């Protein structure tokens, strides 16, 4: 099952263009997705863990991503594997699942996101068929290779089990969550997603993913951090959440206006 109907999985695995940069959107407005999809992002993540998307708004958001001809990725809430199947049905090209801490967690994720023989994803991809423009049997044959299943590694338990998680058939890669990981590594003392401890962990994770032939992705707090991650060899990175990008843009515009007015 290696068909790669929309090209996303293949481009990601070939690390074309030095790795992908994805938007990360928690504000549940499909029209905001429409606008951001016009920028040079390689993909768009809709964050349903900490963002405010519900299933209907996420399906509409995915449609706006597809309208721009881009792959949509959904991050599900913790343990909400039923939603993972539904989001794939709605046309998501990839699922990011937070807090995957063991091989058992990884197997539960695969069960929901891959059709047999890898998993037990239930049939019903009506919107996905429309978005990808293919027939049902073609989707069934290709879906396990077409869609990407990504486990988040962001706890000590997950780090300890990283090889077991990566070894699960159907897990296509991992996504490092530097905020939660920094809290875990400091036993709750610090939020330090840009610290040296996270850099060391990332270098280790990159090596383990390469050893298993799997993808490595991570959340970067801003563009500079995302650039460092790409240099480290990551396959897909985030360059900050949409709210941070929006507010940074507003700050820059206000400062520019004040500067000109005062000159």
Q: Is residue 154 involved in binding ligand 3PY (CB under 6 A)?
A: yes
Residue 236's closest CA among 4, 5, 8, 34?
8
- Answer for which of 34, 102, 179, 195 binds ligand 3PY (CB under 6 A) is 179
Q: Is residue 240 involved in binding ligand 3PY (CB under 6 A)?
A: no
Closer residue to ligand 3PY, CB minimum distance, 75 or 121: 75
Is 35 part of the annotated catalytic residue set? Answer: no
- Answer for which of 42, 89, 105, 180 binds ligand 3PY (CB under 6 A) is 180
Shortest Å distance, C-beta 154 to Mg ion: 5
- Answer for which of 30, 119, 177, 220 binds ligand 3PY (CB under 6 A) is 177
- How many Cβ atoms sit within 10 Å of the Cβ of residue 103? 17
User: Considering only residues 128-157, where is the footprint of Mg ion by CB under 5 A?
Assistant: 154
Q: Tell me which of 35, 50, 131, 204 is the catalytic residue.
A: 50
Residue 176's closest CA among 111, 128, 226, 129?
226
Please name the residue that has the structure tokens 């069934």.
140
Please name the residue that has the structure tokens 């792959």.
71
Distance, CA of 92 to CA of 72 (rounded, Å): 5
Q: Is residue 180 involved in binding Mg ion (CB under 5 A)?
A: yes
Q: Is residue 61 involved in binding Mg ion (CB under 5 A)?
A: no
Q: Is residue 177 involved in binding Mg ion (CB under 5 A)?
A: yes
Residues designated catalytic: 50
Q: Which residues contact Mg ion (rule: CB under 5 A)?
A: 154, 177, 180
């Amino acid at each position: 099952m290696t068909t790669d109907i929309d090209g996303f999985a293949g481009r990601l695995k070939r690390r074309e263009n030095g790795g992908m940069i994805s938007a990360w959107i928690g504000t549940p407005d499909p029209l905001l997705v429409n606008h951001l999809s016009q920028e040079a992002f390689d993909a768009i993540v809709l964050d349903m863990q900490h963002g405010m998307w519900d299933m209907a708004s996420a399906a509409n958001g995915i449609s706006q991503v597809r309208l721009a001809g881009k792959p949509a990725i959904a991050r599900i809430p913790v343990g909400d594997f039923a939603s993972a199947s539904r989001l794939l049905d709605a046309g998501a090209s990839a699922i990011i699942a937070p807090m995957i801490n063991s091989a058992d967690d990884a197997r539960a994720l695969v069960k929901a996101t891959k059709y047999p023989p890898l998993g037990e994803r239930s049939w019903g991809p009506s919107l996905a068929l429309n978005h990808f423009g293919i027939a049902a049997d073609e989707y069934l044959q290709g879906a396990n290779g077409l869609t990407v299943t990504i486990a988040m590694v962001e706890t000590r338990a997950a780090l300890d089990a990283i090889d077991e998680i990566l070894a699960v058939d159907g897990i296509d890669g991992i996504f490092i969550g530097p905020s939660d990981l920094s809290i875990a590594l400091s036993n709750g003392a610090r939020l330090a997603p840009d610290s040296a401890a996270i850099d060391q962990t990332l270098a280790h994770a990159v090596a383990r993913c390469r050893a298993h032939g799997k993808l490595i992705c991570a959340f970067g707090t801003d563009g500079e951090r995302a650039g460092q991650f790409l240099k480290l060899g990551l396959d897909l990175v985030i360059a900050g959440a949409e709210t941070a990008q929006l507010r940074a843009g507003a700050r820059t515009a206000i400062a520019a206006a004040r500067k000109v007015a005062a000159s």
